[in-house]
Structure 1
Amino acid sequence: MSVQPTALRAKELERAKRDLEDIIFMASHDLKGPLRTIQGFCTIFEDEYADKIDEKGRKYLDIVRKAAERMNALIEDLLNLSRIGRKFEVKTVDLNELIDEIKSDLWARFRERGGEGEVVAEELPTISTQRVWMKGLFMNLIDNGLKFNRSEKPRVEVSYEEREREKRKGEGKEKEYLFKIKDNGIGIEEEYLSRIFNLSERLHPQEYEGTGFGLNICQKIVDKLGGNIRVSSKPAEGSTFFFTIPEK
């Protein structure tokens, strides 16, 4: 029996997958332009016409602004999903600089939400990895810890350790990094722990903003990097996410 049809089918599926990723990337990117226009005019309207509309009008304007923010988050997550399928050059990445960059991004976001948040990271290593993926991974986990939080001062701690593991392919051992992202947030019910990384699973659709893509994106990134991810959590006691990345 010839294996050629199977090989051709596999190539066709891979090509279709790349085409779909390209379509998602381009469509998501093109949607950001009109969305920026909507957000820009919302800001102008709030700044220049707030005193000319009544409370009901301001309420409607706030609904439009929040809907635009949710749409922006959805587009960002779609872009992140499409990027996972793309190949990026492996570079030397100082994770301390990466975390500082994320903290700056999140500080602006939480100022817009009218809240506070603290991110504390111990001295982290410099590793060879794909920077875009690592930023998306840390960004999602840290943002989740600050967002799903009822504490007066939401706090996320980032730490790591080096250890050895059995090689996935072949004999012997290899070094890996175990990262821990710990928060003082609302925690997760035990019944959801096994499903938390599913794309369709969204635990707090009404109470908290978000698209529900974040943790699924994290799992896909860790898989691509050759590691594992898991969570330990109890309601009202916060959560700790653990993920491993092998040393390149």
Structure 2
Amino acid sequence: MNLYLHGIGGEESPVTVGDSLISDPGNRFDIVLTNPPFGKKSSVTIVNDEGKADKESLTYEREDFWATTSNKQLNFLQHIKTLLKINGSAAVVLPDNVLFEGGAGETVRKKLLQEVDAHTLLRLPTGIFYAQGVKANVLFFDRKPASEHPWTEKLWIYDLRTNKHFTLKKNPLRFEDLQDFIACYNPENRHDRKETERFKCFAYDELMQRDKVSLDIFWLRDESLEESENLPEPDVIAAEITENLEAALEQFASIYEEIAPSEDGTTEEYEYVTQTD
């Protein structure tokens, strides 16, 4: 949208009004760079005869999706995979919950590591978004043709978050703050990388053995947790607690849905995620 508003992209508008996640648009692209909308829950607003509005969870049944869920970030990640041409590349901004959420999240991460080359994860620092406490990442991956063997051999993770402190006005994230990551990423030859204090490599087998295939990985010691004067602001701490509680509630809801008896009294096994606002 930003490119189009600045006259890049030709005379014909590439923008259409609608729900991008409803179906496969059929178009395929060499590169997808995107920051999908944050917010865990997809929903529709329904107005009844009395004029009262209510929201209902919205899930998407698509043959090209690995999992059915109302989690918007997981759905956008699956949608982006579909949009790529074979050997096409994507860089996607994702919140932390995509890296550790169970249920459909675990399914998506497994399929992601198996069916695309998820080669790099950049852990972004807090303080760079208008909403305080937002924890986000950039996932870099390439789509690959069908194969009996997993395409992701190694996931390289760069930690730009631990012991980094940025704010929107007084200490904003600048291009020079990304120079070390760019050097480690080594865009000229991604297969010739070296580990550093902030840049570590994790093999496919190691990732698959982690609980729920969690990609929420840190290894640096967080100095702010050891020195009281360096503790995050109260609103940041509150946001983190809220996120953790929501994740726990989602897990309990998912377990309940799996073991709850059906209308005929039997217990059915199925997988979907109930989200909380």
Tell whether the structures are fold-level matches, with TM greater than 0.5. no
Please give the TM-score of this superposition, normalised by the length of structure 2: 0.25
Please give the TM-score of this superposition, normalised by the length of structure 1: 0.27
